[in-house]
Copies of this chain bind each other. A is one copy, B any other.
Amino acid sequence: MANEIADKKKHIVIVGGGPVGALNACYLSRRGFKVDLYEGRNDIRQEENATGRSINLALSCRGIAALNHVGLDKRVMALGIPMKARMIHLPNGELYSVPYGKTGQHLLSIDRLQLNKDLLTVASSQPNVSIHFNTKLINCDIKKAKATFSKKDGAEITTTSDAIFGCDGAFSAVRRQMQRGVFNYSQEYIQHGYKELTIPSTKNGEFAMAANYLHIWPRHEFMMIGLPNQDKSFTVTLFMPFTKFNALTKGDEVVEFFKEVFPDSLPLIGEELLREDFFKLPALSLVSVKCSPYHCGNTVALFGDAAHAVVPFFGQGLNGSLEDVLVFDGIMEKHENDFDKVLPEYTKVRCKDGQALADLSKQNYIEMRSSVVSLWFLFRKKVDNILTTVLPSMFVPKYSMVAFTRTPYHQVILQSKRNDKIINTALLVFALFMIGACFCLFTSYKDGSVTDSKTEL
């Protein structure tokens, strides 16, 4: 039965050779499909100075689970640098850390470009997978699964397959074709842009800051983060409103700004490198994309950023994208590769999670740049930690559900709302009880009962 259906649908065209497209090729090959993967850019494995998407990657549970299937999880875990906690840098130079989860739980700082290279290598070694670089989608008929690509030399090629999988990122050309029909879609740019800087390794070739942390300089209106790299440097990303970026037009102004706002980072980055890096590129924009459905008929499906581009503040963009492939594979298994059933169910199951992920990511920006320094946040983290220790099967904090479990994102939102309600009510009751107790004590003390009880001792 499974083979019969697989025979009906056996040739897939994947658009996009990023990590999601490459991983998808591996999964489909394992199911016996013939896969042609088309990527507009050159093969990044052959480029010396190839740059992937710039913000580097905090890999967690979902991404690792998806990589497990192709045997890359162990390699990534060996090469990644564990980040067990946030390291908060205050404006006065003070530091303190806030753990991400229980002991042993951590994020992995990894090189996004290296991961992409590894996935391409694994994909191209699979049977029935062909990868075509420098081949850009220019048009597609989504109902007929017919796609036209242009090659670097201007030549055009047209493919007809059983289905097209759009893994072509936030500005997906496949999705653009779907948008012409009845299709819900939103793109939202936040008011903040980002620039990438570097904290190089020290003269002794060591990390310039504690390595096993995600460093955060939260400054309410904006923030800076630093993730450790294998070469002992840190990739530093500054997120700020565009108006603020535009106000800094000279090297001296940038240095002054850093002296005032991120003083401890300045000697680590170095004035010279800061002046150089800051003006290398304009501030880049951050977009959040939601859409539905994730499929069209039995011929097209969207994965990763093409389905749900998110702002990078939960470190879940690629984790959620890789998980799409894993979730899809589960549905393929359930419906024995029957695309008539698989594609609609993929939309039904995954759309609400993609939308929840976009919402969670936007919310976490506020947490990262502001709440993380509030007393309430720190107090709640302590309460959460106590509850996780005392009631491990009943209580998992929101961050842990996202980063260290595979709880569907939309359930994370529901569950954490419930948690907040229960905890806030319990804290209120506790506070009222304490006030009541103090009042009783005070009254007893005033009318002499406390004194009396003392005399009884």
Residues of chain A touching chain B, judged by Cβ–Cβ distance below 8 Å, are 179, 182-189, 285
Residues of B within 8 A of A179 (CB): 187
- A417 and B4 CA atoms in complex are apart in Å by 59
Q: Contact: B184 with A188, CB < 8 Å?
A: yes
Residues of B within 8 A of A285 (CB): 182
- Cross-chain pairs A/B with CB under 8 angstroms, 8 sampled: A179-B187, A182-B285, A183-B189, A184-B186, A184-B187, A185-B187, A186-B187, A186-B188
Residues of B within 8 A of A188 (CB): 184, 186
Determine how close the nearest CB of chain B comes to the CB of A179; give it in whole angstroms: 8
Residues of B within 8 A of A185 (CB): 185-187
Residues of B within 8 A of A189 (CB): 182-184
- A141 and B188 CA atoms in complex are apart in Å by 22
- A102 and B188 CA atoms in complex are apart in Å by 41
Mostly, the A contact residues are strand
Residues of B within 8 A of A182 (CB): 189, 285
Determine how close the nearest CB of chain B comes to the CB of A127; give it in whole angstroms: 39
Residues of B within 8 A of A183 (CB): 187, 189
- A179 and B189 CA atoms in complex are apart in Å by 11
Q: CB-nearest residue of chain B relative to A187?
A: B185
Residues of B within 8 A of A184 (CB): 186-189
Most B CB within 10 A of own CB, among A183, A185, A285: A185
Residues of B within 8 A of A187 (CB): 179, 183-186
Q: CB-nearest residue of chain B relative to A189?
A: B182
- A185 and B184 CA atoms in complex are apart in Å by 11
Determine how close the nearest CB of chain B comes to the CB of A285; give it in whole angstroms: 5
- A189 and B186 CA atoms in complex are apart in Å by 12
Q: CB-nearest residue of chain B relative to A184?
A: B188
Q: CB-nearest residue of chain B relative to A285?
A: B182
Q: CB-nearest residue of chain B relative to A171?
A: B180
Contacts A184-B187, A185-B185 aside, 10 further interface pairs with beta carbons under 8 A come to A182-B189, A182-B285, A183-B189, A184-B186, A184-B188, A184-B189, A185-B186, A186-B186, A186-B187, A186-B188
The 9 closest A-B pairs by CB, nearest first: A186-B186, A182-B189, A184-B188, A185-B187, A182-B285, A184-B189, A184-B187, A185-B186, A183-B189
Q: CB-nearest residue of chain B relative to A193?
A: B182
- A304 and B285 CA atoms in complex are apart in Å by 28
- A189 and B182 CA atoms in complex are apart in Å by 7
Q: CB-nearest residue of chain B relative to A186?
A: B186
- A238 and B184 CA atoms in complex are apart in Å by 23
Determine how close the nearest CB of chain B comes to the CB of A60; give it in whole angstroms: 29
Determine how close the nearest CB of chain B comes to the CB of A241; give it in whole angstroms: 13
- A179 and B188 CA atoms in complex are apart in Å by 11
- A188 and B183 CA atoms in complex are apart in Å by 7
- A43 and B183 CA atoms in complex are apart in Å by 31
- A189 and B184 CA atoms in complex are apart in Å by 6
Determine how close the nearest CB of chain B comes to the CB of A353; give it in whole angstroms: 19
- A188 and B186 CA atoms in complex are apart in Å by 8
Q: CB-nearest residue of chain B relative to A180?
A: B171
- A188 and B182 CA atoms in complex are apart in Å by 9
Residues of B within 8 A of A186 (CB): 184-188
- A186 and B187 CA atoms in complex are apart in Å by 6
Determine how close the nearest CB of chain B comes to the CB of A352; give it in whole angstroms: 15
Q: CB-nearest residue of chain B relative to A287?
A: B182
- A185 and B171 CA atoms in complex are apart in Å by 13
- A348 and B55 CA atoms in complex are apart in Å by 32
Determine how close the nearest CB of chain B comes to the CB of A41; give it in whole angstroms: 19
Determine how close the nearest CB of chain B comes to the CB of A136; give it in whole angstroms: 16
- A246 and B182 CA atoms in complex are apart in Å by 16
Determine how close the nearest CB of chain B comes to the CB of A89; give it in whole angstroms: 30
Determine how close the nearest CB of chain B comes to the CB of A169; give it in whole angstroms: 15
- A188 and B285 CA atoms in complex are apart in Å by 24
Determine how close the nearest CB of chain B comes to the CB of A281; give it in whole angstroms: 15
Determine how close the nearest CB of chain B comes to the CB of A7; give it in whole angstroms: 31
- A179 and B175 CA atoms in complex are apart in Å by 14
Determine how close the nearest CB of chain B comes to the CB of A412; give it in whole angstroms: 24
Determine how close the nearest CB of chain B comes to the CB of A107; give it in whole angstroms: 30
- A269 and B179 CA atoms in complex are apart in Å by 37
- A88 and B71 CA atoms in complex are apart in Å by 65
- A189 and B293 CA atoms in complex are apart in Å by 11
